[in-house]
Amino acid sequence: MIAARRATDTEMPCHRYMLGRDPALEVKVADVTLAVRQGEHQILHGELGAAGLEVQAMGGRRGRPLAQALAAAAAALFDADLERAEVSLGPGTSPEILETALAHGLVAETQAPMIRRRQLLQVPLLWHQDPRPVPHPWLPRHLPDGRIHPERPPLAQGVVYDRFDPLLGMRMSFRRVTADKDLPLFHAWMNELRVAYFWELAQDEASLHAYLRRLEADPHAWPLIGCFDGEPAGYFEIYWAKEDRLGPYYDAHNYDRGWHGLIGARQHLGLAKTAAWLRGLTHFLFLEDPRTEKVVGEPRVDNAKLLRYADALAYDKVKEFDFPHKRSALMHCWRDPFFDRVMR
């Protein structure tokens, strides 16, 4: 076992992981040491060596809080090296940490424990900010046309996703829309000519307020504001595809998710940020429920830029089809290709 040597704060890069209402986790990494802190308390100490990362718990954390600290430690190593695919946990790692890692899906076994990037990114410990249990239990609901879909859980208020995007170098977050608070911004964005062309919602404030209120009462669709480093950048709607207007146009599965999106703030337009919000939104939808195998979209066929961006992020164009109000392209993004080819 590598001798335990406590990491200091001097000259150590800091990686920060938000935890909703709880204090953020801060991970400081030096050449051979790693420290995870929450507020004033260090809760994990790690040593990096030939055998991998050897981790000891500090401060008495147990269960999910300890798993979050270990996830943050691994995420910091991945964020610092985008080509790194895995972190081995060395023989000096405590049995308690190994058992916690196994129980929370961070490792597949404890004999040769390894945290893989693609596995960590699918575990809702760090970036998924909604505190409700995942997944929601199966309870059937019947549609008027005879179809059956699962009962959908309510979306939490406030921030539901928060992640530093290492490819962009900025923090991408999504928060729940509040109709009264966000109406002026929503109204301004919907009345931009470039937005109105695709969304067809260039209406007055009263009409748009009623639109948001209807969404707040709709269990299948949720409105979100997307932010870069905390600055509002765009408006997004996420939905369960089976009971959406899109559902009858393809073989919709019970846990397929979909989205609509726009960037309203002009300073956040462009390829890099479009790729970042599409990565982040898709990541959030896969974190929402492990039973979601694919995320779908139905942009207008003449939205050439969005179709091109989506294609680069593992969205495949399945077909073109006609809604009553527009001709659309059906896009599918499957879980495995997304985490294999896109997420870093």
Question: Cβ distance 37 to 73 under 8 Å?
Answer: no
Which residues share a beta bridge with 174?
161, 226
Which of these, 38, 32, 34, lies nearest to 74 by C-alpha position? 34
Helices and strands (H, E) in the chain, number of each type: 9, 17
Residue 214 phi/psi, 5-degree rounding, is: -65, -40
Pairing of strands 33-38, 257-263: unpaired
Q: What angle do CA 324, 330, 336 make, to 5 degrees?
A: 155
Residue 298 known to be catalytic: yes
The distance in angstroms from the start CA to the end CA of the chain is: 31
Instruction: Please identify which residue in the block is written with the tokens 């002026």.
Output: 184
Alpha carbons 76 and 123: distance in angstroms, whole number: 15
CA distances from 23 to 19, 20, 77, 233 (A): 6, 8, 21, 25
Q: Report which residue type is found at 61.
A: R
Q: Which of 54, 243, 288, 298 is catalytic?
A: 298
Question: Cβ distance 281 to 319 under 8 Å?
Answer: no
Residue 34 phi/psi, 5-degree rounding, is: -145, 140
The secondary structure of 200-255 as a DSSP string is -----HHHHHHHHHHHHT-TTEEEEEEEETTEEEEEEEEEESTTSTTGGGTT--TT
Residue 75 phi/psi, 5-degree rounding, is: -60, -40
* Residues labelled as active-site residues: 298
